[in-house]
Amino acid sequence: MKGKKPDHGRGTALAESPAAAGVQVKGRLWLEKDGETFLSWGRVVLLERIRDLGSIAAAARSLGMAYSHAWSLVASMNRLAGQDLVGRTFGGRKGGRAWLTDAGEDAINQFWHLVNDFRDWLNTQNP
């Protein structure tokens, strides 16, 4: 599959209503701050991978993403949050590592809570 990016579910709905006459309401959710995307499905998955793998580079690889892109997303989220969501140490002989701060864990939990509320709301919609 050289040249083809892996499908991580982007482009699909996070939630959908029950079908009525073959019609459904579908939607995705993201949070913006000052007109910039702060949290979205992809950014939250990146944060979760950083937490699970202990490295921005490893998280990027697991998502088929360039390290530079992952780093720019982390820097953007940290800036928009007004505090670090991801803590890190830099290189050295054994390389650096990364971890989620308490604020990062809270951001993930709040995002998935909003997604669940969004799903619940969509389940009440009949097109």
Express each pLDDT in 66-85 by its tens digit: 999 999 999 999 999 999 99
Tokens for 123, please give them: 């389940």
- 2 occurs within a structural domain: no
Whether 20 maps to a domain, the answer reads no
Which stretches within the chain are classed as H helix?
41-53, 56-62, 67-81, 102-123
| Residue (of 33, 28, 26) closest to 10 by Cα position | 28
Q: Is residue 93 part of a domain?
A: yes
Query: Of all residues in the chain, what percent carry a pLDDT higher than 70?
Result: 87
Question: pLDDT at position 122, please?
Answer: 86
* Number of domains observed in the structure of the chain: 1
CATH number at residue 81: 1.10.10.10
- How would you classify the pairing of strands 86-89 and 36-40? unpaired
CA distance readout (Å), 10 to 18, 29, 101, 112, 121: 21, 12, 25, 16, 21
Q: For 108, which DSSP code?
A: H
In a domain, 29, yes or no: no
pLDDT tens sequence across 2-52: 444 444 455 567 777 787 778 888 888 999 999 999 999 999 999 999 999
Q: Does residue 99 sit within a domain?
A: yes
- Provide the pLDDT for residue 20: 76
In the block, which residue shows the tokens 């590592």?
Answer: 97
Domain assignment of residue 94, yes or no:
yes
Q: Which domain holds residue 95?
A: 36-123
**pTM score, whole prediction:** 0.83
Quote the CA–CA distance of 86 and 15 in Å, as a whole number. Answer: 28
For residues 98-119, average pLDDT? 96
Domain membership flag for residue 68: yes
Rg (Cα) of the chain, in Å, rounded? 17
Is residue 119, in this structure, part of any structural domain at all? yes
